[in-house]
Amino acid sequence: EEYYDVNVIGTLALAAEAVTAGVDKVVYSSSCAIYGTPRSIPIGEDARAAPMSPYGASKAAAERLLLDVLAPAGGRRVALRYFNAAGADPDGDTGERHDPETHLIPNAIRTALGLREHIDIYGTDFPTPDGTAIRDYIHVADLAAAHVAALGSLLDGGRGGVFNLGTGTGSSVRDVIAAVVAATGAPVEARPCPRRPVDPPELVADPTAFQEALGLRPEMSDLDTIVATALAWHRKEAGLPKD
């Protein structure tokens, strides 16, 4: 109910008010969750939408309703389908904090720093090289740059559209844990757990459309940089020394 309330009802109300106020250009934060379990990797924007979760279904609905509300008034929208947003501000001013924290990279880092006892690996029997799920991680700074580029395109008369925001490179859960161990020099206790029913084995973007349309490529989205910036943020948050 909460996903639909925010992502569908809330987006519909906001879009209607935008049209009333004469706002005809929208950049929408969507999600790769709308793809569900993809038929092929990497995933292009023309892949079948088959969300496996209420969150993904609500995002798909919001993409469509924005078109339906804005188009009659001559409006345009860009929907940016995030893959796995990660990392932190390189200057250390802002970072990722959830309560409770559910994301892999923060939890792996917090475990390495001694701020939690262990992390759970949800599934070690996926049809992937090491048995754990593979995801396409994109640095939050590259996401921010993509938003600026998408808005600039609309302001310059671009017709809008739907774009994947990812790198085209996948990292498994074990890859991420290894990167955190290498960055911190500390062990990360990881406990195997059963798969979650809505987790596909692999989600990796084909980022070609966005890169060609807007001439923008990720600059900070290699896994080591993502982990390094997130680590600096979590050390600062915990009052720990930088090294």
**Catalytic (active-site) positions:** 55
Distance of alpha carbon 53 from alpha carbon 36, whole angstroms? 8
121 bridge partner residues: 192
H helices, E strands: number in the chain: 8, 10
Q: Whole-angstrom distance between the N-terminal and C-terminal Cα of the chain? A: 44
Q: What is the DSSP letter of 122?
A: E
- Residue of 101, 76, 205, 87 whose CA lies nearest to 145: 87
DSSP 23-38: --EEEEEEEGGGG-S-
Q: What is the dihedral of CA 206, 211, 213, 214, to 10 degrees?
A: 150
